[in-house]
Amino acid sequence: MKRALITGVAGQDGTYLAELLVEKRYHVVGLARSGSDLVHVPPEVRCIRGDLADHGLIRAVVSEARPDEVYNLAGVTDLKTAFSDPAATMRINHECVGVLLEACARVNPDVRFLQASSSEVFLPSPRPLSEGSPRDWGTNNPYAAAKMLADRDFVARYRKEKGGFACSAFLFNHESPRRSEKSALRKITRTLAGIRCGAATSLVMGNIELSRDWGYAKEYVEAMWRMLQIDTPNDLVIASGVLSRVRDAIDVAATVLDIDLAWHGAGVDAIARDGSGRPLVRISPELYKLAEPWPKRGDIGEANRLIAWRPTTDFRSLVEMMALEDYHDVLKQSDARASRPD
């Protein structure tokens, strides 16, 4: 039986990956941040609470897990948090990667290690971004800087100098019904579901003309697993390869939830009203950001060639899935509140 360690096991990617590995009959140990919700973590997973910044804990967890495969999915992922505390972001997203990889290699020299990197490491380009695309070394984004340094200082160096099996997955935006409501897509589906059920009144957004390369998280963890099954470690871009607008997500979610929207105005003045003229979607100047000249889109040619992977869930299907699941969840919560005694 193969043994795997997943850091960030309680997150969106961690729970889907844990389910996949349990189905494949792995023995799985997961590290989860204190206070995180374990509702989606399979009961077969041995969960340990703790923080990546605790180096002693990392070494103890690795010693207990004795992993054949390691998936480092934990870290600071929220940009607001990253900018508010860049030192902690660098410590957790960079330094701790080195500590974890070193501990794993000491316990098992044949360990296979995957680092969850990000599309944020790349310079914007008019062309789809691939593994060899230029990195944004001049960035002021602490999250992107820490990810780039971890890829270079630990993952690539471990491959080159130690001949070990380590790789980085350059993950573009990926979503699911398990995504945090801090994400734009989940905010859209959750709020519109609330409007449909009478639990919310309006959706407030920034620039709805922004475009992103969005995919389904459950399929992305399949790609990560495949990356550790091949003979030679390779860094790979994991993406949908397709750009979609924020406004498109609103329209798809509204349609599947049977909400009639009519758009008026543009830019910061854009507003969407229902059939009775009630404003349901409005733009906040505080949230509004100018559209990038070159939104980031991934080139998954190498992922298709090396691990035979490409996504099968398109953008519309992803948004519909999220909106319907949020709708049923909001209904369930409303029913639970209504049934409580006064």
Catalytically annotated residues = 118, 120, 143
Q: Which amino acid is at 22?
A: V
Q: Which tokens sit at 276? A: 């009775």
Beta strands in the chain (DSSP E): 3-7, 27-32, 46-49, 69-72, 112-118, 165-171, 174-175, 203-205, 211-213, 215-216, 236-238, 243-245, 262-264, 271-273, 279-283
C-alpha count within 13 angstroms, C-beta hemisphere, residue 22 = 17
d(CA 179, CA 29): 22
DSSP 314-339: -HHHHHHHHHHHHHHHHHHHHHHHHH
Phi and psi based region of residue 310 (left: phi greater than 0; alpha: psi -120 to 50; beta: remaining): beta
Q: Is residue 151 a contact partner of residue 117, using CB atoms and an 8 Å limit?
A: yes
Helices (H) and strands (E) in the chain, counts: 12, 15
Q: Is residue 88 a contact partner of residue 80, using CB atoms and an 8 Å limit?
A: no
Neighbours of 1 (CB within 10 A): 7
